[in-house]
Amino acid sequence: MHLIGVDFKERFTEIPNITGGYHEAGKMGAEYFLQKGFKNFAFYGYTNIVWSRERLEGFERHANAKGFVVYNFDQTQMPGGGLWYYKPSELSEWLKSLPKPVAIMTCDDDKAQHITEACNQAGISIPEEVAVLGVDNDEMTCSLSDPPISSINLDTEKGGYEAARLMDIMIQNRVKEPQDILVKPTHIVTRQSTDIISANDQYIVKALKFIHQNIEIDLSVTNVMKEVPLCRRSLEKRFKDTTGKGIYQYVLSLRMQKFAERLLETDKSINEIAFETGINLSNNISRQFKQIKGCTPTEYRKRHIKKL
């Protein structure tokens, strides 16, 4: 008999595992939040399950390396059962106690939905006070949440092919010591739960919210100026002090991030995706994309979608 295990709680030692780049996913989550300017970090998951524990380790290690602490809520210790999120709970009390704004990574999308539900019940705004990032990119769970959940996408399709390939060569007795199958994180799909930059300046928060809500239309600096009672010079300075970018550069970078996500999520043409993300087709899309991502859209798509 030939077996391949799934590391539901811990990795098997006698048979190959379908496992994941859990530390890598945690690091990806921390980098994502650090780029958004967060200084408060938290993790919600299980310490007694390998895929949750190692995601926490990767997240915490990277945040610690930048000088930040990570507040951890271990769901292992929370009583199960019942509609816990409709009444006061340890989780809601923990969320209230966290310094705000706070970036929370969860071990999976299901736990991210726990956070959004608890925040809604406790009157905590998402993403202004709490930004929430899950793992797995489960479309149904992420979309049904209020608000929709951002999530780390995993290369599960490649993992399935690799599992079938390994089983085939094991059946043929062509492998003496089978190796684990590693399902790696590919990219982060940004939805409303993290679609904001952390900022203490109320005018910049308002400007950022306007930009993120209108990124797919013809958006200019003049449009943004109409949203806040600041002169252009003051707005530009405060905006750059907060985000590290001027308004135009920030809008372009955000559009290119949305563009990059859709390159991996759809098989639409580059021009179609550019139109959907508000990028001016008269500009050199490939040149602009390469300035930000270091490669052309076609190269980016090939690099991240590995064909077997």
Residue 307: per-residue pLDDT = 42
Say which residues have a Cβ less than 8 Å from residue 278's Cβ, sequence separation at least 6: 215, 216, 217, 218, 219, 255
Residue 277: per-residue pLDDT = 82
Q: Is residue 172 part of a domain?
A: no
SS3 171: helix
Residue 131: per-residue pLDDT = 96
Per-residue pLDDT of the chain (308 residues), as tens digits, is 456 556 567 766 766 677 778 999 999 999 999 888 899 999 999 999 999 999 999 999 999 999 999 999 988 765 555 444 445 578 899 999 999 999 999 999 999 999 999 999 899 999 989 999 999 999 999 999 999 999 999 887 766 667 676 666 667 776 667 677 677 898 888 898 998 777 778 888 888 888 888 887 778 888 999 999 999 999 999 988 888 789 988 888 888 888 888 888 788 888 888 888 878 765 678 888 888 788 888 888 887 765 43
Q: Which amino acid is at 237?
A: K
Residues 6, 17 contacting (CB under 8 angstroms) = yes
Same domain, 140 and 19: yes
Same domain, 89 and 236: no
Same domain, 78 and 211: no
Same domain, 120 and 52: yes
Same domain, 245 and 274: yes
Q: CA–CA separation, 136 vs 118, rounded Å?
A: 20
Q: Is residue 177 part of a domain?
A: no
Q: Is residue 232 part of a domain?
A: yes
Q: CA–CA separation, 170 vs 168, rounded Å?
A: 5
CATH number of the domain to which 244 belongs: 1.10.10.60
Residue 208: per-residue pLDDT = 86
| Residue that is written with structure tokens 């958004």 in the block | 36
Q: What is the pTM of this model?
A: 0.71
Strand partners, 73: 44
Helices vs. strands in the chain: H and E counts, helices first: 13, 9
What's the domain range around 235? 202-304
46: tokens are: 């299980």
Same domain, 105 and 237: no
Q: Is residue 44 part of a domain?
A: yes
**How many distinct structural domains can be found in the chain?**
2
Instruction: Specify the pairing of strand 5-6 against strand 181-183.
Output: unpaired
CATH number of the domain to which 88 belongs: 3.40.50.2300
Residue 6: per-residue pLDDT = 64
Q: Which amino acid is at 178?
A: P
DSSP state of 154: E
Q: CA–CA separation, 130 vs 180, rounded Å?
A: 36
